[in-house]
Amino acid sequence: MLEKLLEFERGLFFLINSSYNPFWDQVMWMYSGIYVWLPFIIFFCFMLIYKRERKEWLYTLGAILAICTLCIIFSSLITKPLFARPRPIFHPSFMEEVRTLYESILEPYGFVSGHSATSFGFAMFTSLLFRNKLYSLVIFLWALLMAYSRIYLGVHFISDIFAGGLAGVIIGYFIYRLYHSRIKTEYPTSYGKYLAIGLAGYIILFTAGTGIWLKFFP
């Protein structure tokens, strides 16, 4: 069944994977990593803690950690070994044509995408937490770009991304319901606005910074 899906997504996969240049190579490589997001993570944690009760922000951080943990377990310990579908760079029908920036990957299987699951799980939980339309738009666009970067880099098929995103949304929603059953107070919607502006501004800043860096240090 999973192999049959590849017949339908092959064209779109290679359209995304082959649309490259040095600028987007660097941006997508950074976007797909963790270290580039540390400034935003610090800002996010500050907003969670700022003028909130200790019990509230501890539960909130605990819920987010639970989402990340469950998404990783579901992806890496359940679905990847269960379905054992190779990543594009290891798949015999794709590997000769796939372009990737990764020289080596420890995990040979890609269904489902852990990046996609954790990104959409985080997006789902926090969009329900802040209930701000601007934040919901920005955070889901962020998750979508994260998923796109994995296809661009040649390490996941589209179906890996879709299934991972769906799993993340379900896990994020489930954890939010458990969280909300214990914590009845809500974060002001203005928190979401500040975080949305901060995240969008940060993405623009590091994207522009990458372009400037490559211009002077190609």
3-state helix, strand, coil in the chain (%, to 5): 75, 0, 25
Q: Please name which of 89, 86, 63, 156 lies closest in space to residue 116, comparing C-alpha atoms.
A: 156
pLDDT recorded at residue 45:
95
- pLDDT tens-digit profile of 3-13? 888 889 999 99
List of E strands, the chain? none
The pLDDT mean for the chain works out to: 93
Inter-residue contact 162 to 151 (CB < 8 Å): no
Angle, CA 135 vertex, CA 132 and CA 136 arms, to 5° = 85
- Widest distance between CA atoms in the chain: 55
pTM for the structure as a whole: 0.94
Per-residue pLDDT tens digits for 133-180: 999 999 999 999 999 999 999 999 999 999 999 999 999 999 999 999
In the chain, the N- to C-terminal Cα span, in Å, equals 44
pLDDT digits (tens, 9 = 90+) for 29-56: 999 989 999 999 999 999 999 888 898 9
Structure tokens at 127: 């969009």
Domain ranges of the chain: 40-100+107-212
Please give the pLDDT value at position 104: 62
